[in-house]
């Protein structure tokens, strides 16, 4: 599989492709300061819930690099500040907060060790999070591909592929895993307005990996579902509540309604780390609202009156009743999701 590394720790810095420049050009961004990775997360240079978890883990290491060897109190104070700072970058993707909490818990296990050794251990923990995501994506793909016939026609929304994770992806991971076992898959990729992740990223990524892809505007999905013999819809997730309500890129909720109307299964592919069991339902998921100029001045060009009011939520919530199954690394979860999610977490922390 042809794959650009979505994120990498290299020579004391975080290196990643600037996804805001795709597909026009592939340019690697080197983040040597904590402010640079914060900006990269905020501006969607790195994006996708699993990738944000990996980025957050490496960001902790980056922010503590110059404090390795300092007094323990100073090191720990800086770690808290770094975690608090990175947490302000984006509010919806729970993997980011999950990774920060995991790094803080891991620090507590190191007790009185010298801070230079603590920093080195934190780097290894970030690398473990990175490696675990690679394995998780493959497992999600392996479970999910069993749901696809051969050949299969799939609609997806936004980008939940290799560019959104450290591995082969979640929603697109299902497609790549199907490809690995010899299935032929055709993908309709929703353009995903206003930032066009489905057109800029998903279409680019699928072409790189030899998957047939047809990009459509978001408002064409109903016609495709009606006329193109779609077998299923597969999307990723940024946060899933304990009842199965799912926050994903804006437009996902509408796509789930269309899929339900046309009798197409609607699958959500996500790691267990995306499930936030502290939230009983999707109404409690914080929804990021982004800069109005993403709509008023799309990609730098005036695309609406410059003084028009804008509502620009980055995500919406699909109710669990519209979700046919949640594909995780532990298997395929079905309704009632309160029960299947709780079962999936048995034996974990």
Domain 8-137 has CATH 3.40.50.300: no
Give the separation between CA 32 and CA 153, rounded to whole angstroms: 42
As annotated, the residues of the chain forming the CATH 1.20.120.420 domain(s) are 8-137
> In this predicted structure, what is the pLDDT of residue 305?
97
> In this predicted structure, what is the pLDDT of residue 237?
97
Active site residue 11: no
As annotated, the residues of the chain forming the CATH 3.40.50.10470 domain(s) are 141-344
pTM: 0.94
Identify which has the larger pLDDT, 63 or 3: 63
- What percent of the chain shows pLDDT beyond 70? 99
pLDDT tens-digit map of 149-185: 999 999 999 999 999 999 999 999 999 999 999 999 9
pLDDT of 202 above 90: yes
pLDDT of 222 above 80: yes
Where would I find the beta strands (DSSP E) of the chain? 8-10, 13-17, 28-31, 152-156, 185-190, 212-216, 232-235, 239-241, 246-249, 266-269, 275-276, 315-318, 325-328, 331-333
pLDDT tens-digit map of 237-275: 999 999 999 999 999 999 999 999 999 999 999 999 999
- Contact, 243 vs 337, CB < 8 A? yes
> In this predicted structure, what is the pLDDT of residue 349?
54
> In this predicted structure, what is the pLDDT of residue 92?
85
pLDDT of 2 above 60: no
> In this predicted structure, what is the pLDDT of residue 111?
81
> In this predicted structure, what is the pLDDT of residue 93?
83
Q: SS3 for 186-226, per residue?
A: EEEEECCCCCCHHHHHHHHHHHHCCCEEEEECHHHHHHHHH
- Contact, 136 vs 168, CB < 8 A? no
Beta strands 246-249 and 212-216, pairing class: unpaired
pLDDT tens-digit map of 268-300: 999 999 999 999 999 999 999 999 999 999 999
pLDDT of 208 above 60: yes
> In this predicted structure, what is the pLDDT of residue 131?
97
> In this predicted structure, what is the pLDDT of residue 1?
63
> In this predicted structure, what is the pLDDT of residue 12?
96
Report the largest interatomic distance among the alpha carbons of the chain, rounded to a whole angstrom.
66
Catalytic residue among 218, 238, 245, 316: 238
For domain 141-344, give the CATH number.
3.40.50.10470
**How does residue 4 score in pLDDT terms, banded at 50, 70 and 90?**
confident
pLDDT of 200 above 90: yes
């Amino acid at each position: 599989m042809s794959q650009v590394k979505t994120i990498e720790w290299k020579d004391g810095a975080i290196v990643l492709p600037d996804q805001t420049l795709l597909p026009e050009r592939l340019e690697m961004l080197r983040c040597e300061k904590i402010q640079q990775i914060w900006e990269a997360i905020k501006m969607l240079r790195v994006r996708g819930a699993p990738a944000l978890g990996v980025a957050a883990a490496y960001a902790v290491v980056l922010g503590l690099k110059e404090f390795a060897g300092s007094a323990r109190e100073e090191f720990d104070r800086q770690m808290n500040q770094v975690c608090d700072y990175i947490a302000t970058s984006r509010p919806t993707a729970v993997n980011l907060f999950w990774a920060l909490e995991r790094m803080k818990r891991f620090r507590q296990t190191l007790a009185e060790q010298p801070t230079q050794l603590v920093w080195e251990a934190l780097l290894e923990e970030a690398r473990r999070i990175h490696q675990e995501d690679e394995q998780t994506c493959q497992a999600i793909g392996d479970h999910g591909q069993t749901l696809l016939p051969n050949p299969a026609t799939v609609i997806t929304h936004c980008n939940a592929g290799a560019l959104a994770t450290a591995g082969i992806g979640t929603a697109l991971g299902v497609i790549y895993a199907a490809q690995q076992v010899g299935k032929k898959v055709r993908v309709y990729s929703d353009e995903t307005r206003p930032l066009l992740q489905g057109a800029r990223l998903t279409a680019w990524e699928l072409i790189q990996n030899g998957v047939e892809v047809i990009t459509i505007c978001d408002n064409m999905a109903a016609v495709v579902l009606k006329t193109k013999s779609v077998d299923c819809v597969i999307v990723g997730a940024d946060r899933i509540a304990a009842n199965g309500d799912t926050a994903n890129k804006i437009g996902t909720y509408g796509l789930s309604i269309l899929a339900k109307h046309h009798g197409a299964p609607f699958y959500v592919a996500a790691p267990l780390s995306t499930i936030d069991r502290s939230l009983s339902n999707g109404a409690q998921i914080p929804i990021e609202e982004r800069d109005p100029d993403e709509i008023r001045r799309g990609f730098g060009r005036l695309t609406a009156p410059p003084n028009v009011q804008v509502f620009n939520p980055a995500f919406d919530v699909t109710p669990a009743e519209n979700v046919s199954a949640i594909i995780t690394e532990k298997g395929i979860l079905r309704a009632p999701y309160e029960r299947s999610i709780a079962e999936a977490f048995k034996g974990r922390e």
